[in-house]
Structure formats: C-alpha cells, structure tokens
Amino acid sequence: MSVDEERRSTRVKRLPREVRERQILDAAVRVFSQYGYHNASMDEISEVAGVSKPMIYAYLGHKEDLFAACIRREATMLMEAIAAGVTTEQAPDMQLWHGLRAFFQFVGEQKQSWRVLHRQATSQGGPFSEELLAMRSRAINLVDALLVRSATTRGEAPAKSTEALAAALVGASESLADWWLDHPEVSDKTVASWLMNLVWMGFGDLVTGTVWTPTPE
C-alpha cells in the first residue's frame, strides 16, 4: 500500500467512527429521554443506533459514560446555538433577546435533548450534575458579561449584582423551559418574550437607577 493509499484508508476508517459515534449518541439521547436513565437499556440503544453493543462499549463506554457523553454533547450544542444567535455588535437588550430566542428555539426543536440535559440529568444526580453545573457556569458567565457590557457602554460602573442576576436569569430560563415542556401550545417566541419582558425591565433599572423600595409599614 502506498503512503497515499494508507492515508486515504485511515481517513476512510476514521469517518465511520465519527458517524457511528453520532448515530450512537443520537440513539442514546432518544432512548434516555424516552425511558429515563435507569430504565434505558443498552440493547435498545444498540438497536435504535444500528450499532452492536460491543462497538458502543468500545467507542463510548458503558451506560454511565454514554449518558455523560450525551449531556456533554447536548450542552455544547445548546451553548453553540445561543452563541450563534448573539453578536456583541447588537444592543444589549437585543443580545439578550436573541440569546433567549435561541435558547427556547433549541429547547422547542430539541425537546429530547432538553429532557436528557435537564430533567434526566437532574433526577439522576451524581457525576452528571457536574456536567450540568459546568454548563450553568458558562451560561451565567455569558449573561454576566452581557450585563457588564451593557452598563459600561452607557459609561456606568457595572452594579455589584450582575453575576447574581445572571444566575437568577439562568435559573428562571431553566425553570420556564421546564414549565413549557408541559405547555407545548405556547410558541417559543411567546415564551421568550414573556421572560424578556420579565427581566429586561429589571435589568434596565440597574442602569437607569429606578428601584423598587418597600412601602413603609
């Protein structure tokens, strides 16, 4: 075999592995989201993927590793979808709006991903919650940076509370997405605009200085 032929053959061998891994992960996300982690069987995943069990074990490991790989992939896809919707040239409110739109679009189109990511991983706990915590941290940092930019572009010092409010918004988005799974009659744009209206006025007040204060009792 010439060097060229060998390279080609290696490339040919590599491609199937990536394709197979994707097939396996697609199947695993489907099966995990349908049956839950405990009731999902490797036999079912093998059948849906059209890939033998020994090959799944060789490529992605046993059930726990496979589930962790699903969470990692789906979390990355979600973060990429949000990043793709937002550019720093947009006004801060539009950045948040496009970020929320992208988030709810992803959840709406990838309901199985969200079920695995959020409901299944949360209810399984253990090692999986670390993958989730890492994703949440990235999301919180993203929103925090947006709020800081929003203040500094207006020539103001960012409030001390930006990170805390970013954490609040991420929690609100997760919780609302979960509510939405049980109310599919509401459109993704509507859900996004509800949350936008809820928080933007509040974020805006960070900047304009309008504050709510308790009435004296």
Judged by the rule CB under 8 A, the positions of this chain that interact with its own copies are 91, 93-94, 97, 122-126, 129, 140, 161, 163-165, 167-176, 178-180, 183, 186, 191, 193-206, 210-212, 214-215, 217
Residue 12, CA distances (Å) to 7, 17, 18, 173 in order: 9, 9, 11, 42
Closest by alpha carbon to 132, among 82, 191, 174? Answer: 174
How many other CB atoms are found less than 10 A from the CB of residue 117? 29
As a residue count, the chain comes to: 217
Q: Which is nearer to its own copies, 58 or 172 (CB)?
A: 172
Q: Identity (one letter) of the amino acid at 59?
A: Y
Q: In angstroms, how far is the first alpha carbon of the chain from the final one?
A: 88
Q: Which is nearer to its own copies, 122 or 153 (CB)?
A: 122
Q: Which is nearer to its own copies, 20 or 118 (CB)?
A: 118
For the bound state, the minimum distance from the C-beta of residue 97 to its own copies, rounded and expressed in Å, comes to 5
How many other CB atoms are found less than 10 A from the CB of residue 95? 21
For the bound state, the minimum distance from the C-beta of residue 116 to its own copies, rounded and expressed in Å, comes to 13
For the bound state, the minimum distance from the C-beta of residue 66 to its own copies, rounded and expressed in Å, comes to 17
Q: Which is nearer to its own copies, 55 or 159 (CB)?
A: 159
Q: Which is nearer to its own copies, 51 or 206 (CB)?
A: 206
Q: State whether the Cα torsion 137-143-147-148 is positive or negative.
A: positive
For the bound state, the minimum distance from the C-beta of residue 133 to its own copies, rounded and expressed in Å, comes to 9
For the bound state, the minimum distance from the C-beta of residue 107 to its own copies, rounded and expressed in Å, comes to 13
